[in-house]
């Protein structure tokens, strides 16, 4: 079952800040669509990796080996909400995520 995809209003700024190429943007788009087909955690047979601590309830996936996408699913409404997209090399994506929730 596919989930409807919604984006936090700040995700467009995230993508612009990352200076992704058109090819990377297209790859990201396809990866998000792929994950939306089964966004639950890998431990439950999906594509996402569950986060812990104060980000419990959120999931993440990687794309292009350098980037991380953090999202939340709303099972009742079949919605996958993309919260933030950032580099995975450091923890700034998590610090920014804390500010957004």
Token pair, residue 56, equals: 């419990």
Q: Is the pTM of this model over 0.75?
A: yes
Residues pairing with 74 in the sheet: 79
Tens of pLDDT along 21-62?
999 999 999 999 999 999 999 999 999 999 999 999 999 999
Domains of the chain: 4-100 (3.30.2310.20)
At 94 the pLDDT is: 86
CB 96 within 8 A of CB 87: no
Alpha helices in 1-101 (DSSP H): 11-18, 22-36, 92-100
Taking alpha carbons only, the member of 8, 87, 9, 71 closest to residue 38 is 71
């Amino acid at each position: 079952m596919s989930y409807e995809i919604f984006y936090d209003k700040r995700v467009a700024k995230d993508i612009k800040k990352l200076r992704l190429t058109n090819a990377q943007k297209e790859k990201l788009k396809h990866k998000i669509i792929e994950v939306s087909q089964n966004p639950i955690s890998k431990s439950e047979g999906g594509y996402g990796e569950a986060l812990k601590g104060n980000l419990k309830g959120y999931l993440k996936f990687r794309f292009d080996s350098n980037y991380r996408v953090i999202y939340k699913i709303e099972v009742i409404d079949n919605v996958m909400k993309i919260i933030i997209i950032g580099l995975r090399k450091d923890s700034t994506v998590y610090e920014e995520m804390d500010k957004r929730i």
